Amino acid sequence: MLLQFVAAPIVCGSSLTAAPSLSAAAIHSIGHGGIHVQPDWIPPELVSVMRQDAKGLFSDGLFSPDGLTNTAVVKSQQGFSNRDRQTFRGDGWLSEVGDTASRRDFADRMYSLRQDLAAGLGRPSLAVEGVRKHEMTYNWYEPGAKLGRHLDEHHEETKGTKGWMQPTRRSVTWLVYLNDGWKAEEGGTLRTFPRPTLASELVGADAGNLQIGWLDGSRPVFMDSHRKGGRSCLYCRGGKGQREVVSASDFDVPRQPVDFREFLRTRHAGAFEQISTSRLDPRFATGAPATFAEFDELHHVDVVPKAGTLVLFDSVSLPHLVREVTSKRQRIAATGWFHEDGQTPFG
């Protein structure tokens, strides 16, 4: 399914005009495992100055290769090159380099968007400032660059002890494209892998426990790693606020790659789908550096990276990739993650 949206442009007198709020349908889609795509979310004049800002920062050498990390090999062996995604991080989105004014304008819009998401998704800690590590970057793809299938956030326990060291986690992934007149034949399409139909329940997390898979096609499966002795169990939401435990017993989570199917009750194993596996996520491949299969056999939704388009989805439950840029020009976007409170090992 290829999304090529047609929508009336936002009429605005200046780049400071506020972007439209999210609709109830958008909030529902994000919260139930779908992808929200909103064309012309920022006006053309802001797109233009941000694109020029990104080009200037790239010319100044402030981008660095940022392909997917393959945990099976050390970084020095991963072979980062111009065929990988490159990102601008600097000392932060509002660092005093480039066009700070346009990035502040954009950051104000993202602040308002984040408040909408915090209220609509029932994730109040999204709205909090202070120690929050909300991430904003520019992404840069040279011709030929692509990005393998991956998730933006994983359960803390699957990361080992370092997974419990951060106060926040990625909650909502966002992208705003800056490519003027981009066409589908230029490649660089965002390919996402939502469920064929939206989940009937909220995805991503339950009482802070992150989702690791699906049961019966659309029921989120969560992992609670605060069991006795620091062990874990897998469960779905049951009726009247109760849990339906689907793991045979409590277990210790092994190092990646993890196959959670081995911990399930026999009657559930055949109906279980894991979100991220060594086949589906190149970060958990073994041996040589990651390959970049596109998984055409799976249900997917493609988004052409047209200027001003906003994309939003849950960071835990929606795998995605970027197809190869076949254009002779660069693919440029502003991207990032809104964070919410994480769990502590004993919280």
Q: Give pLDDT, residue 280.
A: 57
Contacts of residue 276, defined as CB under 8 A and 6 or more positions apart, other chains included, come to: 150, 151, 154, 212, 284, 319
3-state helix, strand, coil in the chain (%, to 5): 25, 25, 50
pLDDT tens-digit readout, 291-333: 556 666 789 999 999 999 999 999 999 999 999 999 999 999 9
Structure tokens at 205: 């997390």
> Can you give the residue ranges of every domain in the chain?
2-198+283-341, 205-274
Contacts of residue 120, defined as CB under 8 A and 6 or more positions apart, other chains included, come to: 22, 24, 27, 31
Structure tokens at 292: 């970049």
Q: Give pLDDT, residue 5.
A: 34
Is 80 exceeded by the pLDDT of residue 345? no
What single-letter amino acid sits at 294? Answer: E
Is 70 exceeded by the pLDDT of residue 21? yes
Superfamily for the 2-198+283-341 domain: q2cbj1_9rhob like domain (2.60.120.620)
